[in-house]
Amino acid sequence: MTWNNLLQPDLILEGSILNLTPEIIQQYGLKGLVLDVDETLVPMKVGAASLELQQWVEQIRACTVLCLVSNNLSEMRIGGIARSLNLPYYLGAAKPSRRKIRAALRAMNLPVHQVGMVGDRLFTDVLAGNRLGMFTILVEPIIHPEVALRSHPIRNFEVWISEALGASIAPKYTKIHKD
């Protein structure tokens, strides 16, 4: 697989993960989702799931198996978020390593092509998911309001490098946005 394919998300969602609906999930035949935590579900350094996120998880849980896989090592923070959402989780994933994602896939007991990897980063979430043959979904990061005024330099750099390597950072499928 070439770099441009490894860094190419299958779907780019406009807005946050909260715009990922059961209809979109079903449209792509997904039965499970592996979710990144930091800036995908909650802003960095926030230790609790918002009410809006809790409601989203309940809606999605009705049609999809969910699991959290985070590079973060903080059991207190990631474990607390996972417990508040009543979801299984894996810490210290070191994505784009596939080890912890494979563990999540085994726990879900689903074929890899029926599981989506959802995250806000190309060089961790999308790369790891594509290396496993998962359906990859790139979402916009959820950023703490104090940080929102600054640009997002790491993500901007990843997009620039990805495009230089040949990935268009245009989705394989159409962009989805929620009105």
Q: Cα–Cα distance between 95 and 151 in angstroms, integer? A: 23
What letter does residue 28 receive in the DSSP assignment?
A: T
SS3 state at 91: coil
Calpha distance 124→87 (Å, rounded): 21
Nearest alpha carbon to residue 67 among 97, 29, 40: 40
Region 122-130: mean pLDDT is: 95
pLDDT at 92 over 70: yes
Whether pLDDT at 153 is above 80: no
Bridging pattern class, strands 115-119 and 89-90: unpaired
Per-residue pLDDT, 13 = 92
Mean pLDDT along residues 116-138: 96
Angle at the Cα of 8 (from 107 to 34), degrees rounded to 5? 20
> What is the predicted pLDDT for the residue at 150?
47
The tokens of 49 are what?
A: 């799931």
pLDDT at 147 > cutoff 60:
no
Least confidently predicted of 45-54, 78-87, 160-169: 160-169
Rounded CA-CA distance 16/40 in Å is: 7
Beta pairing class for 11-12 and 135-138? parallel
111/124 Cα distance (integer angstroms) = 21
The amino acid at residue 125 is D
Query: What is the mean predicted confidence (pLDDT) over 9-13?
Result: 94
Name the more confident of 143 and 28.
28
- Cα–Cα dist 2/139, whole Å: 22
Question: pTM of the entire structure?
Answer: 0.84
* Residue spans of beta strands (DSSP E) within the chain: 11-12, 32-35, 65-69, 89-90, 115-119, 135-138
What pLDDT does residue 45 have? 83
Query: Which letter does DSSP use for residue 98 in this model?
Result: -
pLDDT bracket for residue 168 (50, 70, 90): low
